[in-house]
Amino acid sequence: MEQTLQNTKISNFALTNNQYILMKKLLLILPAAALLMNLGMVSAGKPFEGVITFKISYPDSKASESQMAMFPKVLTVSVKGTKSRTDLAMSGMNTITITDHSEKTSVRLLNLMGQKYAIRETTAEIEKKIAAEGKVTVEHKDDTRTIAGYPCKKVVATVSKDGTVTTFEGWYTTEFGSKMANFDNPLFKDIDGTLLEFVMQSNEITMKFTATAVEKKNLADKDFEIPSDYVLTTQDELRSKFGGGGND
């Protein structure tokens, strides 16, 4: 009976982790909305502190209805000082990424059906991931629109990797955010502002992130710290523990 429960736990982890791998790739190219920093001035010379909420939609998805039900629908980004935090919930798993923009490091917190792990990423590891994404060129367009109350400009990133060329469209505001905040963003690291909408495709699933609210509010320092009930581990250790389930 114990072995059966363990097998079920691993099977469930593998299922939710497949979604996690998809979302982790998205987080790597998530715009500065997920990686705000220290920050651009919103108004009256005051730094931005607060929460940005993104709606996640899946236009032209080829996934089944049951698969779609397991995908996340909301991403929240919290910003305080030189740190940001993204929260993403999906079936069987919650993912939190805390980024320190002054140190150029991050930590990923994974809650896998109640099993909690923390994985740190150094500057060198982040830079290695960025380099692996391929050659990126960015083109600024003249199109403008308003998203979540902020004026935005259009930008298109073109990625060339292993003979395949892919484009990613985004809309960014210069009202807050800065290029420094995008240090770990392989597509938009040179954007001097904050993307409030973008569309991308991964694993044949088109995903669209659109900011629906930008709320200025005071946040607690503890929200940007590793909780005591998370076990510090590495990606390799997690992969070994779950029989390859933690693979990138």
* Amino acid, single-letter form, for residue 71: F
**How far is it, in rounded angstroms, from Cα 106 to Cα 172?**
23
On whether residue 212 sits in a domain, the answer given is yes
**Over residues 211-231, mean pLDDT:** 94
On whether residue 194 sits in a domain, the answer given is yes
Question: pLDDT tens-digit profile of 42-51?
Answer: 333 346 789 9
31: confidence class by pLDDT, cuts 50, 70, 90 = very low
On whether residue 96 sits in a domain, the answer given is yes
pLDDT, position 230: 95
Residue 157 clears pLDDT 50, i.e. is over it: yes
Which residues neighbour 28 within 8 Å (Cβ) at sequence distance 6 or greater? 129, 130, 133, 184, 185, 186
CATH number of the structural domain spanning residue 206: 2.50.20.10
Domain that holds residue 107: 2-241
Residue 97 clears pLDDT 60, i.e. is over it: yes
More confident residue, 131 or 143: 143
- CA 98 to centroid of chain Cα atoms: 10
pLDDT, position 201: 63
On whether residue 248 sits in a domain, the answer given is no
Percentage of the residues of the chain whose pLDDT score is greater than 70 = 73
On whether residue 246 sits in a domain, the answer given is no
226: confidence class by pLDDT, cuts 50, 70, 90 = very high
Residue 63 clears pLDDT 80, i.e. is over it: no
Q: Is the pTM of this model over 0.85?
A: no
Mean pLDDT for the chain?
75
Q: Please count the structural domains in the chain.
A: 1
Instruction: Tell me the CA distances in angstroms from 148 to 114, 127, 141, 215, 226, one per residue in order.
Output: 34, 31, 20, 10, 30
